[in-house]
């Protein structure tokens, strides 16, 4: 088959370089343009030596006319960028996958409140498909515009999905305890991101409210068929990549439902969700560099609470890998194409 022509806007951030790493060995992809406003003219490999001999061309200025020559454009950019380009690209027949948050929330007013800016193309928001393949695979296949999910939402939604679809848990008072490595904050320099500030330390942040909370609520409400309420507390870990989400939900009754079997059956045909054996405790290192979510479900002391542990690599299944997975679905490719890596250990 002809190769899919791809452009990457914002190739200098962590999700951008991760996207380039994955696309480099994709059997059906040709990368046309890699853009960066701040690094125009500098070779990609000079900034990211791991890509030497693969992407030695220079970063270019993002130009909508040139980008539209591609079949699909990935936006690995800050919030507010993709929405300025999407209308023109879609009009020219190009598909768009946004790794930022411009199209994740269906309520534009809520989006503007959380992200502190006016939405530039609110008319496209209803068309955007939320790119979590495990719930929206058919819609993604026909989409022109895909909103790639956030990292915390991916780990949280996948962990709670079987319970909510089966109607087994109370949806008022869900608790999501999320932990992430420092790469989740992006590549921009800041004192808070220094290793000397984070090493040998562990803290919660954004307890009053995090931008991923409305995204999680939106999806869990859609899955449940009615509004859910939850407490979401993110934490910063002194490691580079990885997310562990510990999810707490109360069973509606003291049922004899086999939760292990429920999860195994629900994800039996999913290539990137691995339900661990009963009693397991998934580790972030087991998904480092790969597009997998590993899940374990527990019912402590055979009580009324279900506790789910869900781990992903925030830069892969939480960002770039999921974007490639979405592209594969959009172009009717094998969903695992370019994503067959094995996790890095030690």
Q: Which of 128, 133, 92, 153 is nearest to 333 (CA)?
A: 133
Q: Which of 34, 19, 46, 155 is nearest to 100 (CA)?
A: 19
Q: Is residue 310 part of a domain?
A: yes
Which of 121, 151, 217, 293 does the annotation list as catalytic?
151
Same structural domain, 119 and 185 = no
Same structural domain, 17 and 96 = yes
Read off the pLDDT of residues 254-265 as tens digits, 9 standing for 90 and up: 778 899 999 999
Q: Is residue 180 part of a domain?
A: yes
Other C-beta atoms closer than 10 Å to the C-beta of 113 total 11
Same structural domain, 123 and 41 = yes
Q: Is residue 48 part of a domain?
A: yes
Residue 231 pairs with which residues in a beta bridge? Answer: 175
pLDDT value at 216 more than 90: yes
Residue 197: the pLDDT is: 82
- Which residue's structure tokens are 């992006």? 186
Read off the pLDDT of residues 226-256 as tens digits, 9 standing for 90 and up: 999 999 999 999 999 999 999 999 999 877 8
Same structural domain, 162 and 292 = yes
Q: Is residue 289 part of a domain?
A: yes
How are strands ordered across the β-sheet holding 229-236? Answer: 203-204, 229-236, 172-180, 243-250, 305-312, 293-298, 273-275
Q: Is residue 138 part of a domain?
A: no
Q: What distance in Å separates the CA atoms of residue 313 and residue 112, rounded to the nearest whole number?
A: 28
Same structural domain, 165 and 110 = no
Read off the pLDDT of residues 59-82 as tens digits, 9 standing for 90 and up: 999 999 999 999 999 999 999 999
Q: What is the CATH number of the domain that holds 120?
A: 3.40.50.720
For the chain, the three-class secondary structure string (H helix, E strand, C coil) is: CCCEEEEEECCCCHHHHHHHHHHHCCCCEEEEEEECCCCECCEHHHHCHHHCCCCCCEEECCCHHHHCCCCEEEECCCCCCHHHHHHHHHHCCCEEEECCCCCCCCCHHHHHHHHCCCCCCHHHCCCCEECCHHHHHHHHHCCCEEECCCHHHHHHHHHHHHHHHCCCECCEEEEEEEEECHHHHCCCCCHHHCHHHHCCCCEECCCCCCCHHHHHHHHHHHHHCCCCEEEEEEEECCCCCCEEEEEEEEECCCCCCCHHHHHHHHCCCCCCEEECCCCCCCCHHHHCCCCCEEEEEECHHHCCEEEEEEEECCCHHHHHHHHHHHHHHHCCCCCCCCCCCCCCCC
Find the domain containing 205 and state its range.
152-314
Does 121 participate in catalysis according to the annotation?
A: no
Q: Is residue 217 part of a domain?
A: yes
Average pLDDT of the residues in 19-25: 96
Same structural domain, 50 and 180 = no
Residue 189: the pLDDT is: 67
Where among 110, 127, 144 does a domain terminate? 127
Same structural domain, 120 and 156 = no
Same structural domain, 161 and 100 = no
Same structural domain, 184 and 274 = yes
Same structural domain, 276 and 164 = yes
Are 44 and 35 in contact, with CB atoms under 8 Å apart? no
**pTM, whole model, 2 decimals?**
0.96
Same structural domain, 86 and 156 = no
Q: Is residue 298 part of a domain?
A: yes
Are 41 and 35 in contact, with CB atoms under 8 Å apart? no
Same structural domain, 200 and 310 = yes
Q: Is residue 132 part of a domain?
A: no
Instruction: Say how many domains are in the chain.
Output: 2
Q: What is the CATH number of the domain that holds 294?
A: 3.30.360.10
- Band of the pLDDT at 1, cuts 50, 70, 90? low
């Amino acid at each position: 088959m002809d190769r899919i022509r791809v452009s990457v806007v914002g190739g200098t951030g962590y999700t951008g370089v991760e996207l380039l790493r994955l696309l480099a060995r994709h059997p059906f992809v040709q990368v046309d343009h890699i853009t960066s406003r701040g690094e125009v003219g500098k070779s990609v490999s000079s900034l990211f030596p791991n890509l030497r001999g693969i992407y030695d061309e220079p970063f270019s200025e993002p130009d909508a006319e040139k980008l539209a020559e591609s079949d699909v454009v990935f936006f690995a950019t800050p919030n507010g960028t993709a929405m300025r380009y999407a209308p023109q690209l879609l009009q020219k027949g190009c598909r768009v996958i946004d790794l930022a948050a411009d199209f994740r929330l269906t309520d534009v007013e809520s989006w503007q409140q959380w992200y502190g800016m006016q939405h530039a193309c609110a008319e496209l928001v209803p068309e955007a498909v939320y790119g979590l393949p495990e719930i929206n695979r058919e819609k993604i296949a026909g989409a022109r515009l895909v909103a790639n999910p956030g990292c915390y939402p991916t780990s949280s939604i996948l962990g709670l999905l079987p319970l909510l679809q089966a109607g087994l848990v109370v949806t008022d008072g869900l608790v999501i305890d999320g932990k992430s490595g420092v790469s989740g904050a992006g590549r921009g320099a800041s004192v808070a991101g220094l290793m000397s500030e984070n090493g040998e330390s562990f803290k919660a942040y954004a307890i009053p409210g995090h931008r991923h909370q409305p995204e999680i609520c939106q999806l869990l409400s859609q899955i449940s068929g009615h509004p859910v309420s939850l407490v979401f507390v993110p934490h910063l870990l002194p490691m580079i990549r990885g997310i562990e989400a510990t999810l707490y939900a109360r069973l509606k009754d003291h049922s004899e439902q086999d939760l292990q079997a429920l999860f195994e059956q629900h994800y039996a045909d999913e290539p990137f969700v691995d339900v661990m054996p009963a009693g397991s405790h998934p580790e972030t290192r087991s998904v480092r560099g790969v597009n997998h979510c590993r899940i374990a479900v527990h019912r402590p002391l055979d009580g009324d609470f279900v506790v789910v542990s869900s781990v992903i690599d925030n830069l892969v299944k939480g960002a770039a890998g999921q974007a490639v997975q979405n592209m594969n679905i959009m172009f009717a490719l094998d969903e695992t194409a370019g994503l067959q890596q094995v996790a890095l250990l030690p």
